[in-house]
Chains A and B, each alone.
Chain A
Amino acid sequence: MELFEKSIFEIREDIVSGKISCEEVTKYFIKRCEENKDLNAIIEIYDDAIEKAKEVDSKLARGESLGKLAGVPVAIKDNIFYKGKQVTCASKFMQGYVAPYSATVVEKLLAEDAVIIARTNMDEFAMGGSCEKSCYGPCHNAYNRDYVSGGSSGGSAVSVAAGLVPLAIGTDTGGSIRQPASYNGIVGIKPTYGTVSRYGIVAFASSLDQCSPLTKTISECEYVLKILAGKDERDQTSISNGFIAPENKKFKLGVCTEIIEKFKTMAGYKHFAEALEKLKQEFDIVEVSVPHVSNSLACYYILAPAEATSNLSRFDGVKYATRSENAISLNDVYVNSRTEGFGKEVKRRIMLGNFVLSSGFFDAYYGKAKKLQRLIKKEFKNAFADCDAIILPTTTGTAFKIGEKMVDPVSMYLEDLFTVPANIAGIPALVVPYAKENGLPIGMQFLADEQKEETLFAIAEKFKNIVEAQ
């Protein structure tokens, strides 16, 4: 078995048992990153990666016990702070910005002796679902380079899918982990809101953002998520996720009638319907109702830009990020720096956010969206009284061609239809691969009630066995 095919567990075991050194592993994966540059998944390979790997080796040589991710090479999305390393959110605006401190997730990875080797491509400031809106150019799908990787965590998903790293970290505000995971045939989760600290991650929409791992398998996803999870004193919205274990029983899967009706006309429905049929062997399938689930999209495109516009205001050209050279007055500094620094999609969302927060419009947009969010949360709560998890497609179909949707932002936004409900409701959602069309993967999505990630992992394992048995 090639090293890149191995799991996190196997790699760690090989290192700890002395079969291979961490240095060798790191060099191997760096080489894979370099050989696959054309995917444009990796933006930068950190120049101290081998140094860090040697530290793990000497720790082992000294007989010290090693952490849960000992020697595992990790790539992190370009919006996660790693002290002393450049971090740019794939934005022209942030070129040259060096993280002054490390994110909590980075500290946790390092505490478990992981070796962070690279940062990955993304849509600028995590705004986008194709990883085409990056100042570094688009990231390519691991299965077909003419197709998008999905996004915004496209670089992280492709890195794992193409075996450039065994583990990558991404963020998910409206599907940014799950959609590229689906497009690249890997596993991705958006945990319960607050499960993973947001400290040190450049905020997009603070009330929706979650950070989590992208891995090849469900068990790796679970393993790493539990390492990253935990209440953080530096993030007031973080929680102590209980990871409530499910009862040992036949699970009930809910099919959400309202949204599936919309799905029937879409490309991916055939695979979904087939899979659902197979699932009946192992699960009780029940119909559940979340009447306003489809309104999640409208809700999302009000709340997320509103928060984003405020979060991105700190990029003003005064303290950091690139100050326009054409700035004389203070107003020039703001206007020119932001005009020159931000990409088109980011500007679009800033405008949208400012509009919905404007005096006179606040109640009609933001206020109403917040009410709708409470309603959707309640509807999900009610639905979970009747089922253990809700099964949903991840996307309307497979990955699309690079450039295909660039001209039509609304059709791009519609791509988020199935992923945003979990963010709006703050509940966990797991994506696992199950089918392919024209050689491009498709992932299934499972949603559960707050802190019921364990239920999702258990259901997904059963699901995988059924799908693979065919």
Chain B
Amino acid sequence: MGLMQEYDIVMGLEIHAELATKTKVFCSCKNEFGDEPNTNTCPVCTGMPGALPVLNKRAVELAMKAGLSFGSKISKYTVFERKNYFYPDLSKAYQISQLVYPLNLGGGIKLSSGKFIRINRIHLEEDAGKLTHISKAVGTFVDYNRGGTPLIEMVTEPDFSSADEVVEFLKRVREILVFEDIARCRMEQGGMRCDVNLSVKRKGQTEFGTRTEMKNLNSFKSVQRAIEYEAKRQIEALSSGEVIIQETRKWDDDKGKSSSMRTKEEAQDYRYFPDPDILPLKITDADISTIKSEMVMLPEDRRKMYVETFGLPAYDAEILTTTKYISDYYENCVKLYNNPKKISNWIMVDLLKIIKDQGQTLDEAEFPVSEQNLCAIIKMTEDKLIGKNLGLELLAKVIETGKEPMLLAKDMGMLVTISDEEIISLLKRLKSENEKVGIDYKEEPEKISGFIVGYVMKNTGGKANSLKVKSLIPDVFND
């Protein structure tokens, strides 16, 4: 038995996600990533003296929605507190957060293994600004655009025992937050961040070991690597008789290792107390019902419906639930035209290719055609009013012009215009030109009819009704 197998890993998470509000949590500045530094700022979020916070109701609603999504209990009475510490990115030298009376308590997520991970709380707080260290000579710059943007902090119980569990949990959290339009969770932009508290104990031992907290984990990959590194580090230390120091460690993804940021002795006393500028918030049952009515079917449930009711392959169901937008789009289409499989094919194959060509990523994809128009095109091809290839051309034209598909198809002469007589004469031509076709047809009519239809379609520029062609084959070839 290897050294690693002699120990259990115990982990809990602190997850921060930036809420998808239009404005900041205590002022009306834009909540936007990537703008020019210090352009989305005002006296409130730059901590000017005399400026006062005004709570953004939408931020509270989104944080409540997060709570409801993860099965938390919404507090009827919630208080904002000041967490006091000095750092240049913290304009007021305190962060408005929640300690004693958080907005959401409890909840959890069931992993695919069936294991339930308990959530301790999800509270609302403000983010700090961003420092950019240029060099010793030039100095450090601070950008307060992010300062005062709303965050939720989710704290879990120490229920994780492997990196895989942590990553699965994080993926589920992100999926739900994105799906419910609570947060965009763009990890590369710091829109979702995770700190891992990790300790190890010998198998069978009941009390927890000393834990460390790892920060600066900004991708699932770095979470995975950091956990594996830290677990190994602790186990090796313990087995060689060393003690683990309670400390905060910073993960360096390039070096693939973590290093100590500060020990418990150096830890700050945050001197929390209720923020006297913000009145305690009372939340009613009516407030909670309003938020509930805003909530949608979660991706997990949607996938189940797509597979079991619509008969889609699991992979397709997965892709179609990448974002709420795509999933809603798909379901709207199914409502308009009850052919879930065909619609799925068109979206999965054709639309995704189009948006890929446009340079959109799946996470941010917005389709350039309305559900109505897409369904109209699919229906036309299914009814064989138009061939599949022409259907795709039509789709491109609809995207280009925004015009109604049927009108466009008529204008462009795409619709089926070939008469029965013309089809019959083409079939006769084929029969006389190619004797083998006639022979094959006698032997295996099903096998060859695809070829025959294709011949007619090709020679009519796709404007023959393929169903019609198929029905006319026996009249000619059975002669």
Chain B interface residues (CB < 8 Å from chain A) = 43, 46-55, 82, 84, 86, 88, 91-94, 142, 269, 271-273, 276-279
Shortest CB-to-CB span from B47 to chain A, Å, is 5
Whether a CB of chain B sits under 8 angstroms from the CB of A314 is yes
Inter-chain contact B50/A359, CB cutoff 8 Å: no
Q: Name the B residues within 8 Å of A334 (CB-CB).
A: 86
The distance in angstroms between the C-alpha atoms of A103 and B91, with both chains bound, is 20
Looking at A212-220, A229-237, A288-296, the stretch in contact with chain B turns out to be A229-237
Whether a CB of chain B sits under 8 angstroms from the CB of A206 is yes
Inter-chain contact A314/B43, CB cutoff 8 Å: no
Inter-chain contact A358/B51, CB cutoff 8 Å: no
Inter-chain contact B47/A319, CB cutoff 8 Å: yes
The distance in angstroms between the C-alpha atoms of A307 and B82, with both chains bound, is 10
Closest B residue by C-beta to A358:
B269
Knowing A199-B52, A310-B84, the reply to whether A357 touches B47 (Cβ < 8 A) is no
Sample 26 A-B pairs with CB under 8 A, ordered by A number: A81-B49, A100-B43, A103-B50, A199-B51, A199-B52, A200-B50, A202-B50, A203-B277, A205-B276, A207-B276, A233-B54, A236-B52, A236-B55, A237-B52, A237-B279, A310-B82, A313-B84, A313-B92, A314-B49, A314-B91, A314-B93, A316-B86, A319-B47, A330-B88, A357-B272, A358-B269
Whether a CB of chain B sits under 8 angstroms from the CB of A354 is yes
Q: Name the B residues within 8 Å of A358 (CB-CB).
A: 269, 271
Main SS class of interface, B: loop
Q: Which of A188-245 contact B (CB under 8 A)?
A: 198-203, 205-207, 233-237
Q: Which of B88, B91, B271 contacts A310 (CB 8 A)?
A: B271
Closest A residue by C-beta to B27:
A234
Q: Which of A101, A203, A233, A359 contacts B269 (CB 8 A)?
A: A359
The distance in angstroms between the C-alpha atoms of A159 and B261, with both chains bound, is 54
Knowing A100-B43, A318-B88, A330-B88, the reply to whether A201 touches B50 (Cβ < 8 A) is yes
The distance in angstroms between the C-alpha atoms of A310 and B86, with both chains bound, is 10
Shortest CB-to-CB span from B99 to chain A, Å, is 11
Q: Name the A residues within 8 Å of B276 (CB-CB).
A: 205-207, 237, 307
Closest A residue by C-beta to B88:
A318
The distance in angstroms between the C-alpha atoms of A247 and B92, with both chains bound, is 46
Q: Name the B residues within 8 Å of A310 (CB-CB).
A: 82, 84, 93-94, 271, 273
Whether a CB of chain B sits under 8 angstroms from the CB of A362 is yes
Inter-chain contact A198/B47, CB cutoff 8 Å: no
Closest B residue by C-beta to A303:
B276
Q: Which of A316-338 contact B (CB under 8 A)?
A: 316, 318-320, 330, 334
Task: Sort A-B residue pairs by CB-CB distance and give the 10 closest, nearest first.
Answer: A313-B93, A207-B276, A357-B271, A206-B276, A202-B49, A200-B50, A314-B47, A314-B92, A359-B269, A318-B88
Q: Beyond the given A202-B49, A313-B92, please list 6 additional residue pairs across the A-B interface where CB-CB is below 8 A.
A: A81-B49, A203-B277, A207-B276, A234-B52, A236-B52, A357-B273
Whether a CB of chain B sits under 8 angstroms from the CB of A56 is no
Q: Which of B48, B84, B91, B94 contacts A100 (CB 8 A)?
A: B48
Closest A residue by C-beta to B268:
A359
Inter-chain contact B46/A319, CB cutoff 8 Å: yes
Closest A residue by C-beta to B279:
A236
The distance in angstroms between the C-alpha atoms of A200 and B43, with both chains bound, is 9
Q: Name the B residues within 8 Å of A198 (CB-CB).
A: 50, 52
Closest B residue by C-beta to A353:
B271
Inter-chain contact B51/A206, CB cutoff 8 Å: no
Q: Name the B residues within 8 Å of A89 (CB-CB).
A: 49
